[in-house]
Each structure stands twice: as structure tokens, then as C-alpha cells.
Amino acid sequence: MPAIPATAVANLRDLGPLPLGEGRGVRPGRVFRSGRLDRLDSTDPVVASLGIRTVVDFRTAAERADRPDHVPDGGRLLVADVLADHLATSGLPPAARLKTLLGDPVLAQEVLGGGKVREAFARTYRAFVSTDSARAAYRAFLTELGDPRGGPLLFHCTAGKDRTGWAATIVLSVLGADDETVMAEYLAVNTAVRQAFAPMVEGFTAQGGDPELALALIGVVPEYLTAALDEVAVRHGSMEKYVRDGLGVPDEVTDVIRERLTVYAA
């Protein structure tokens, strides 16, 4: 789905009304995804009209301290740090270091040049599935989404493409979306992310940075998502078992998510 044109929130998107097949779609106005909310203006009529009641922040403590969320009026914040374990064992992955890496072309080339950027992102996506902190974060997210009394929910990370992209994949899989729909939604963020990070990319290349490396940092490609899906297949066999056994989300919660987020054609 196209981005919602909010001036203060990058890459803001409604998962509805994505098609789910057999006359079904994602119910609009219930679940949104975006980049960071540090510039969110609750008086923005576009944002105010969404009626967001819960914000789920997937970022690390360092990211949150650097650019704290501005939560919509009347909303509450749920912190669900996906990468806490990855940080403890491997340091910050590229998904959580975009500002630093795009500000230092020499460091970016040293750490991620020569094709290493794609390998690094693939490792991070596998960690979305395998680490305890990621499982806890996505379990908390789905539990919140499966609250029958819950209102509209927005989930995000920094750019709204990696940790957020995997969260959207989980939701769409729970709702029964086919592989093509899941991948199309995942890749659809590229235009909005490139627009949001255009000034940083221009600065990066002006300092002699490799433009292809910059685009690999701020964009998404099918192999990133495929790495996480492969990790699910190896560890759990299916997305259904990953949600139930890997994340520990009871069937009754996923049933509520399906009820809340599915709309049927008239």
C-alpha cells in the first residue's frame, strides 16, 4: 500500500486493505507501520485522524535515547527491543546504525563494503527469528495486537523497513496472505525510505561514499526477508508453528488477531 502522506512521520503505512484472497482483506485503520516517531506532531490532521492508541517501538535503547518517540495524544508506548540479544553478542547491526554509517563513508566501507552489507543484513534477519529478545519482542507485539479491547496500533523501528518489515510479515502470515502479497508489501517501503533518507545519502556520496552501499543500507531486497523465512523453515517448519511454538503466542490470540484485522468483501 502507498505511504500515508504525513509530514512528520516517515514511511507511514496502513496494512489495510491489502488483499488476503478469497474475498478477504486486511481491515483498514487498525494496524499501521512507520519509521521513527521523534518528529511526530499530534496536531497533524493526518496523524490525528488515525486514532492511534498504542505505539510499539522495536528499537534499541541507544536508538530510543538518541531520538525518543513522540507518542500520539491519548496513546501509550510499548517498548519491544528486538535486537537486545544481537547487540550483546555481535554489536549493533546495520539496521540500528544507519545514522552512524551514513555519516561516515570510510567506516561504512570498512565494515560493510565488498558485498558484506547484504551478508550482515541476512544475519540480522535470521536473528529476528532465533534470538530470545526478538522472540519476546514479537510475542509482545502480537499479544498487544490480539487484545480484543485494543484500538488502532502503530509499530515501528528507525527506518520502518527491517524489524518493522518482519513484524508486518508475521501479521500478514497470521492473516493468511500468500507469499507474493507478503513480499510485495515488504518491498513496497523502498520508495518512502529512500525519500526519507535522501539528504543523508546525498551527504554520504558527497563525502566519497559508494552510492550502491548507501542504497543497500537504506533499502530492502528479497534476500533479506528470505533469510528470515528460511530460518523459520529450519527451526519451526512453518510460520504457523513459529508463531505458536517459537513466539509462544496461543492460538486464541491469533484467532482474535484474525477476527480484528480481517474484512470480507460485501
Residue 90: its pLDDT value, please? Answer: 65
Q: Is the pTM of this model over 0.85?
A: yes
Whether residue 3 is contained in a domain is answered as: no
- Contact (Cβ atoms closer than 8 angstroms) between residue 15 and residue 32: yes
Considering the candidates 101, 157, 220, 243, report the single residue annotated as catalytic.
157
Cis status, amide bond into 28, omega within 30 of 0: no
192, part of any domain: yes
- 2 falls within a domain: no
Residue range(s) defining the domain that contains residue 58: 13-256
Helix, strand, coil shares, percent, the chain, to 5:
55, 10, 35
Per-residue pLDDT of the chain (266 residues; tens, 9 = 90+): 667 888 789 899 999 989 998 899 999 999 999 999 999 988 888 889 999 999 999 999 999 999 999 999 999 999 999 999 977 666 778 878 888 999 999 999 998 998 899 999 999 999 999 999 999 999 999 999 999 999 999 999 999 999 999 999 999 999 999 999 999 999 999 999 988 889 999 999 999 999 999 989 999 999 999 999 999 999 999 999 999 999 999 999 999 999 999 999 76
264 within a domain of the structure (yes/no): no
By CB neighbour count within 10 A (0-12 exposed, 13-18 middle, 19+ buried), where does 211 fall?
exposed
pLDDT for 4 equals 87
Distance separating alpha carbons of residues 132 and 246, to the nearest angstrom: 10
d(CA 56, CA 78): 5
- Is residue 220 annotated as a catalytic residue, yes or no? no
- What CATH number did the domain enclosing 204 receive? 3.90.190.10
pLDDT tens for each residue of 14-53 = 999 899 988 999 999 999 999 999 999 888 888 899 999 9
Domain count, the chain: 1
In a domain, 265, yes or no: no
**Residue 99 falls inside a structural domain:** yes
In a domain? residue 89: yes
Is residue 7 one of the residues assigned to a domain?
Answer: no
